[in-house]
Structures are given as C-alpha cells and as structure tokens.
Amino acid sequence: MIGCILLTPLLLSSLAAAAPAATSAAPIYPSPSALSSAPGGAIQLDPTPIYNATTDFDYQSLQLGLHQEYIELDLFHYALTKFSDEEWDAEGIDAADRFLIQHMADQEVGHATVISNILGASAAKPCTYQYPFNTVREFVDFCQKLTRWGEAGVYGFLEHLQNRASANLVLQSITQEARQQMSFRQFEGLFPYPEWFTTGITQSMQWTLLAPYITSCPAENPHLNWTNLPALNITNDPTQTILSLNNTADISTNVSSVTAPGYEVHLVWDAPGKSVGPNASYATKTLAGAPQYAAWIAQLNVTYTELYNVLGNSAYTVQPNGTVFGPGSAAIVNGTQFILITDSNPYITPANMSYLDPHVVAGPAMYQAD
C-alpha cells in the first residue's frame, strides 16, 4: 500500500520561518563571561549558535532522523483515511482521539521542517511507504513500535552529535515523539510506560528497522551509509498474544506481562545480501562471526542470553530474569524493546552502543513483553 505524500515544498517553506536560520545577526544574549556567576566548561555555549550538520556523522544521523519523521507523517495520515469511524470506535479510539493522531501528523510536519532546515538543500525529500497492518489494532501496535525505534534511534545518536545547537532542536522534537509513543501504548490498552529508562539504539539498528517500510525515494535523495543489518523475526512473537487480549484504549491498565523470565523465544533471521529499503537500493550486511548470543537492549544496558538449537539461521533463547538495580527494581525486559543476534557478548553501556554494531549477526527485532 502506498500512502499519500502531503508534505509539499510550499508547506515546508511556509513553515521554515519557525526554525532558527543558519546564520545569525548580533547576539541578543550576554556572553557567558558577562553573566555574574556563570560556571565555565560548557560545550558550545555560543552566543550565536549555528544550526547545521558539522560532521558526516551529524549529517547522516540527521538524514536518518528526517526519514523517520517523514514516515510518521505519512503513516498517521494514511491510517486516518484508511479506517472508518466505526472501526476506530470499536477500539475505543473516539473522534477526539483521532484528532490527537491528526495533531501528531501536524507535529511531524514541524519536526521534518526543522531537520530539513538544519540539513539545507540536500535534505532528503519524502518517500513512498508500505505498512504491515490491516486493522486499527495492528496500526496502533505498529505505531507504538515505530515511534519507539524512532525515539531510541535519536537517544542513541543525540549525545554524539558534534553540532550541539542542532542536537537542541532534535531534542525538542523527540520529546514530543516520546509522548506519541506513550499515547499509542494507551490506545492499545497497555500500561503506558513500564520501563524506568528509555533505551537508545544505534543508527544502523534504527535504519534496519525503518528501511523495509520505505518503498521508493526521489532520485536526488542522498544515500544513507548506515548498515542495513539482516532482518530478525520472532516466530512466537508475544505481540500476537497482546493483540488477542482485545484491549481497548485506556489511560492506564494493569496489563500483566504476556511473557515472563524463562519464556522460550524462537528466532529466525535472514542471511546478509538481501536488497532492502528505498528502490531496493540497499543491501543487508554483517561483519559478525557465528551466532552465539541474543542481545536484549532495554533500560540502561545490554543483556545477553545463550542461544540454543542453533541450526542455520534459527535458534531459540530464554527471556532473562534481571532487574535494573537488583531485587525490587524494574525488570530488564518490560514494555517495547529490542532483541538481536550477536557473535559475542561485549560489555556495552549507553554511550558506547556503536561498538555493538560489528557484532550483530541479525536484528534488531522489536520484543513486546507487555
């Protein structure tokens, strides 16, 4: 299915005034040294910040973020036209709730505009998309997953951007996306935010999840050079159990986890070399060796579990039992998170997640514990 593209160049330019310009007149704030008790040592506390992509890393990260904003814009509009009022109402999503989804689409126009302005003339243009849902409930579930990986992708790169001024604007966009993610969990009748910390993932992990839903892009769009990792699928995906609960929208519900520590998770993954993404012009790759672990990216760290019955590109693993700070604290596996196949188990913390990329055999897949 191809969604419609509503973000015209005219709309973009009419909204462009809302974003700071890349050049700036005389500073309107006093310099830090003029403030009576300003402590020293801040990064880029410039009186005249320049909002651009300073490095290749900045440029490629922001282009990726822009693709995410465009798909959300298309997706929300597409669903609002695809489903009838009766179909929405049956899921407890009434006219005011539908207006909230329309509002989210409008927010995406703003987010796409601000990132396009930072990137300038070579900013990616909107593409065409395909979606894996047929019902309102499946749409809502897809949205809470897609906004989760969009959010996690930005948390992964935000603190590594060279241009801190741009990071400021992206932060102010992603806080809205976090609210959208929460609302979609509520529309699905799930507990809105079970985790204590929202994890980050790397750009390649985000691009791996996003690219399959982009069918074609304008020829002038720049090529992204993040890695498309081989796809990972969960054959006994707990999502199916969640959908079959027939929950309707609610601010908060005591939905208990549909899986528990000890749950056997059956996994299959693609071999590298598959064409994916816009115009099938990207090929999946991995630098990793033989599959050895499942990596669970959630909360603050990466937890590994053994793979069993590894047979070609399939295996199973067992949902881990850890908590973030020991007994009485939050379970590592809770809410909407990520699972991958890796060739080893390097110790990874939030600020060095990129060092996991070369060890990824396949994935991520979204793991929906509740």
Ligand X SMILES: *[C@@H]1O[C@H](CO)[C@@H](O)[C@H](O)[C@H]1NC(C)=O
CB of 212 to ligand X, least distance (A): 7
Nearest-angstrom CA–CA distance, 191 and 336: 11
Query: Per CB under 6 A, does 143 bind ligand X?
Result: no
Nearer to ligand X, 101 or 267 (CB): 267
Query: Per CB under 6 A, does 25 bind ligand X?
Result: no
CB of 351 to ligand X, least distance (A): 7
Helices (H), the chain: 9-15, 56-82, 85-90, 95-119, 136-158, 164-187, 203-210, 238-244
Cis peptide leading into residue 364 (ω within 30°): yes
Nearest-angstrom CA–CA distance, 164 and 302: 27
Among 166, 133, 212, 149, residue whose Cα is nearest residue 54: 166
Query: Per CB under 6 A, does 262 bind ligand X?
Result: yes
Nearer to ligand X, 52 or 176 (CB): 52
**Contact letters (x/-) for ligand X, 168-197, by CB under 6 A?**
-----------------------x--x---
Dmax over CA atoms of the chain, in Å, equals: 67
Is residue 145 within 8 Å of 368, Cβ to Cβ? yes
What is the number of the residue whose Cβ is closest to ligand X?
322
Integer angstrom CA distances of residue 327 from 281, 308, 321: 48, 27, 11
Nearest-angstrom CA–CA distance, 159 and 235: 35
Q: In the window 29-68, what residues touch ligand X (CB under 6 A)?
A: 50, 52-54, 56, 60
Q: In the window 220-239, what residues touch ligand X (CB under 6 A)?
A: 222, 225, 231, 233
CB of 102 to ligand X, least distance (A): 28
Query: Per CB under 6 A, does 257 bind ligand X?
Result: yes
Encoded tokens for 286:
């991995």
Nearest-angstrom CA–CA distance, 164 and 52: 9
**Contact letters (x/-) for ligand X, 330-349, by CB under 6 A?**
-xx-x-----------xxxx
Is residue 350 within 8 Å of 300, Cβ to Cβ? yes
Nearer to ligand X, 216 or 239 (CB): 216
Nearer to ligand X, 9 or 40 (CB): 9
Which region, judged by CB under 6 A, interacts with ligand X, from 138-146, 164-172, 174-182, 260-268? 260-268
Q: Estimate the crossing angle of helix 164-187 against helix 56-82, to 10 degrees.
A: 30
Q: Which of 135, 248, 301, 354 binds ligand X (CB under 6 A)?
A: 301
Q: What are the residues binding ligand X (CB under 6 A)?
A: 50, 52-54, 56, 60, 191, 194, 216-219, 222, 225, 231, 233, 244-246, 254, 257, 261-262, 268-270, 279, 281, 301-303, 321-324, 331-332, 334, 346-349, 352, 355, 370
